[in-house]
Homo-oligomer: A and B are copies of this chain.
């Protein structure tokens, strides 16, 4: 079809986990991919980056951008109790995960994505946000993305049309997995474990949510685990 020859670009925010993998599958049905990844000092940063690069290769991304930020760690470290602490230089070597929740985190990530999207001429930004995961995280809710789309309209050139797409926003984990199976998503390339970089632990929050999803979907997770408890 000639449509394939004139495919437009879409930015896909990809952590390297299964949600972003399925999101990339969905986006790639209609768009060439411009894939964006953020290193923010997460414990399994190197493994996630490998997953991102593997996914970018799999989806034949035409362009990728890997950004580094110490913002979340810096903000996470400055809490109300540290009000008198003068925060100065970052310790870029620290691999510790931020101890505290970072408010408005997705606004930061989306702002970066919009800057990039306008620069490269992409009209869509895909993010694998899931409202179900949003307990206590106001910037994971559908209404937040609707409002953000309004902000983009007034904050970019009149000729610019950029819209954030959240295809998974109302789905459960097992539905995301079923969607991924349907689209032949390369789950074997993804990484979700917060703890290990070699073999997924199977017991951290992220592994547990993922494994339960696969078990509920009745599908075997293709990545190796140290242990696979029954989460049903």
**Chain A residues proximal to chain B, CB less than 8 Å:** 9, 62-72, 74-76, 78-80, 83-90, 100, 102-108, 111-112, 114-116, 118-121, 136, 138-139, 141, 143-144, 147-148, 150-152, 154-158, 160
- Contact in complex: B84, A62 (CB < 8 Å): yes
- Return A118 CB to nearest CB of chain B, in Å: 4
Copies of this chain present: 2
Cβ-neighbour of A75 out of B76, B115, B160 (below 8 A):
B115
Docked-complex contact B114 and A141, CB < 8 angstroms: no
Q: Report which residue of A121, A154, A157 has the largest number of chain B beta carbons within 10 angstroms of its beta carbon.
A: A154
B71 x A70 contact (CB < 8 A)? no
Nearest-neighbour CB distance to chain B for A15, whole angstroms, equals 18
Cross-interface CB contact of A143 among B74, B75, B143, B154, cutoff 8 Å = B154
Is the beta-carbon distance between B68 and A103 smaller than 8 angstroms? no
Q: Are A66 and B88 in contact (CB under 8 A)?
A: yes
Q: Give Cα A102–Cα B62 distance, bound, in whole angstroms.
A: 21
Residues of B within 8 A of A74 (CB): 65, 67
Take A103-B118, A155-B139 as given contacts and tell me if A67 and B71 are in contact as well, using a CB distance cutoff of 8 Å.
yes
**Closest CB-CB distance, A82 to chain B, in whole Å?**
8
Instruction: List 28 interface pairs A-B (beta carbons < 8 Å), by A numbering.
Output: A62-B84, A63-B78, A63-B84, A63-B87, A65-B75, A65-B78, A65-B87, A66-B88, A67-B71, A67-B74, A68-B70, A78-B119, A79-B119, A103-B114, A103-B156, A103-B160, A104-B111, A104-B155, A105-B115, A107-B107, A107-B114, A108-B108, A108-B115, A136-B157, A139-B155, A141-B154, A147-B147, A148-B155
